[in-house]
Amino acid sequence: MLVPFIMIAVASPAAAEKRPQSGRTQVPATLTGKERLGRKWMDEQRIDNCNVPPDKRGSRPRPLACAHGPAS
């Protein structure tokens, strides 16, 4: 008497896994902490070339070497 119920309980999760997902949503690109905060990364007082990607450093020329970097 319990066998049909057990068979249904076991078969349901397996059938759900086999179904293709329709309408997959595209995962957004991962943003850095500075990007998640908004346009704050463009603030002159916040820009640090050691931590900002080259394409977001802006037009102001800055040194490429970190003054506060680890000693080598």
What domain range includes position 48? Answer: 32-57
Does residue 13 fall inside a structural domain? Answer: no
What is the tens place of the pLDDT at every residue in 54-72?
A: 777 777 776 667 766 565 5
Does residue 36 fall inside a structural domain? Answer: yes
Does residue 15 fall inside a structural domain? Answer: no
**Predicted confidence band of residue 3 (pLDDT cuts 50, 70, 90):** confident
Name the nearest CA neighbour of 67 among 49, 47, 45.
49
Q: What is the pTM of this model?
A: 0.24
Alpha helices in 1-72 (DSSP H): 3-18, 33-36
Q: What is the domain count for the chain? A: 1
**Predicted confidence band of residue 7 (pLDDT cuts 50, 70, 90):** confident
What is the tens place of the pLDDT at every residue in 9-59?
A: 776 665 556 666 665 666 667 877 767 777 765 666 565 667 667 777 777
Does residue 65 fall inside a structural domain? Answer: no
Does residue 52 fall inside a structural domain? Answer: yes
Does residue 48 fall inside a structural domain? Answer: yes
